[in-house]
Structure 1
Amino acid sequence: MGGVAAGAYKDAVVLYINSNFDKDALAYTVAHEYHHLILHDRNKYQMNKLLDSVIIEGKVDAFADRVLKDVKAPWDTPMDEKTKKHVAKLIQSGEATYEDLVGGSPQKDIPRWSNYNLGHDILDHYFKLQPDSKIEEWSFKGEADLLKGYKYQKLLQ
């Protein structure tokens, strides 16, 4: 990912940086992981379901997209509608795992980084309905609010 990888934990971000890292990738990663920390600080933060991961990754990418307007994540490749629907069905049925969504699963026809792509699509849908929504508003919105009217809402809830 441009020579940068990271993970956010309750009180810290751990960055892994290659000597030939891309500065934009580092900036995006820091913004992305920073928003994870903001979400971690909320009492209502949860990652109990696979859908929680999808929505949280959508939120943190939406934050990074707003902070760094011209920088895109390596996983910012939209999925086609057929694939989105397929992945949503697998999430709802419990057939997909977190590892499937992040790393991909050729056996299940799940592309790599599906949680990021689907999360991005969910937040994009929300922003079309709420174009003036402020970061502090949508960052803490619940699943039901963000999925309202989303084309795969019934498959995901």
Structure 2
Amino acid sequence: MKKLPFLLFLILIALTACSYDSANPASSQDNDKKAAEQSAHSSATEADTIKEEVPSSFSFTYKDQQFEVVYYYKSFLEYIEKAEQQPENLNGLYIETIINPIAEERGIRLSKGWGFGTPRELETLEKYLKSLIDNQDTIHKIITDSLKKSANELQPGADKYVYVFPANPEDNHVMETMEGVAASAWSENFFAIQIAPPYFEEKSLKQAVAHEYHHTVFFKKNELSYTLLESVLIEGKADTFAKIIYPDIQMPWSNFSSEENESQTWKVLKENMTSAMPSIQDDFFLGNTSKGLPQWANYKIGNKIMESFIEEKPNITIGDWTDMPANEILEKSKYAEKH
């Protein structure tokens, strides 16, 4: 059975609740009409109430910095309603309802690559949204607490906008391995969080907020360099920062499974440090068995270099090593000498 849009479903339920007086057909019709009008009005009011209850945004000031957390749920509910009426136009509706408004509001155009592809499993997406709304208090507390803890360790330097989305249900396999949370930073002001409720772990959200927060602070003073070494250390720095805030949290990409894995990854990194080729960057993120690279090799080796750096230079502040060039981090870490 085709699934009715959620708000329309509420109205239809109310309309079918009208009574019928068989003893007086004319009166019954009048009563039916009045009852229908009353029910429709009641349902519309209830629908409006439900829409109002869907979280939208929350702003707060901390450490003299402005933070805004934007829960992008209403737009996804709107997308679902439109998509059920126009199933042949999902891509267009998604761009119109989700992608373009963010570009207009914040000057950020989300890539429609991994994580932001057009959702097609509408029923599952609606279940995701319901779960996120039901667990709003927990999600909101984790995000705001993690932002404040991050700001305690490293001043933001610029206002922050955190957008929270339901994950695309089609990405369920990757979201499961990432414990239900994916995140990405787009500028010094903006980062996005995607949550897949079936696999959601609170620790993953805590770590993701701290990790992406660090990226935004890094972007404030540093231009992106696309060499392999720089991309590796960007992730290593952000993970190290998250570990300082949450020392008991270990993520699946934190460590190598064996010394052999680490040794081979370091070998490939040494040979390609200055490379800016997208293919080698992809190898370090996705893994490449022919080169002996595990999945998330960039995070793993970045973490290891930063661990060595902190061990060698424990008195260098977070702010200083955040802005320190990647080649200097590597040199002072003495990681190369140890391996």
Quick check: TM above 0.5? yes
> Larger radius of gyration, structure 1 or 2?
2
Aligned residues: 153
Counterparts of 2:252 and 2:259 in 1: how far apart (Å)? Answer: 20
SS at match of 2:204: helix
Change (3 A) 1:90 1:97: same
Letter in 2 for 1:118: I
Counterparts of 1:103 and 1:124 in 2: how far apart (Å)? Answer: 23
230, 234, 237: which one aligns with 1:52? 230
23, 27, 37: which one aligns with 2:206? 27
Q: For residues 28-76 of structure 1, what are the alpha-carbon distances to aligned partners after superposition, in whole Å with 9 as ceiling and x for unaligned? A: 001001101111111x332320111111111000100001121122211
Change (3 A) 1:130 1:79: farther
253, 257, 263: which one aligns with 1:75? 253
254, 265, 269: which one aligns with 1:87? 265
- Does residue 37 (structure 1) correspond to residue 216 (structure 2)? The answer is yes
Contact kept in structure 2, 1:62 and 1:120, CA below 8 Å:
yes
Q: For residues 103-142 of structure 1, what are the alpha-carbon distances to aligned partners after superposition, in whole Å with 9 as ceiling and x for unaligned? A: 1111221101111111111111111111222211211111
Structure 2 stretches of 5 or more lacking a match?
1-177
Name the structure, 1 or 2, with higher relative contact order (CA <8 Å, separation 6+): 1
Instruction: Determine the structure 2 residue equivalent to 1:5.
Output: 182
Contact kept in structure 1, 2:182 and 2:194, CA below 8 Å:
yes
Instruction: Determine the structure 2 residue equivalent to 1:150.
Output: 334
Contact kept in structure 2, 1:58 and 1:120, CA below 8 Å:
yes
Counterparts of 2:225 and 2:250 in 1: how far apart (Å)? Answer: 25
CA-CA distance at 1:79 after TM superposition: 5.2
Return the TM-score normalized by structure 1.
0.87
Contact kept in structure 2, 1:85 and 1:152, CA below 8 Å:
no
Return the TM-score normalized by structure 2.
0.42
Contact kept in structure 1, 2:256 and 2:262, CA below 8 Å:
no
Counterparts of 2:256 and 2:269 in 1: how far apart (Å)? Answer: 18
Letter in 1 for 2:307: D
Counterparts of 2:336 and 2:250 in 1: how far apart (Å)? Answer: 25
Letter in 2 for 1:29: A
Structure 1 stretches of 5 or more lacking a match?
none
- Does residue 107 (structure 1) correspond to residue 290 (structure 2)? The answer is yes
Change (3 A) 1:38 1:118: same
Q: Percent identity of the aligned residues? A: 29
Higher share of residues assigned helix: 2
- Aligned Cα RMSD in Å? 2.1
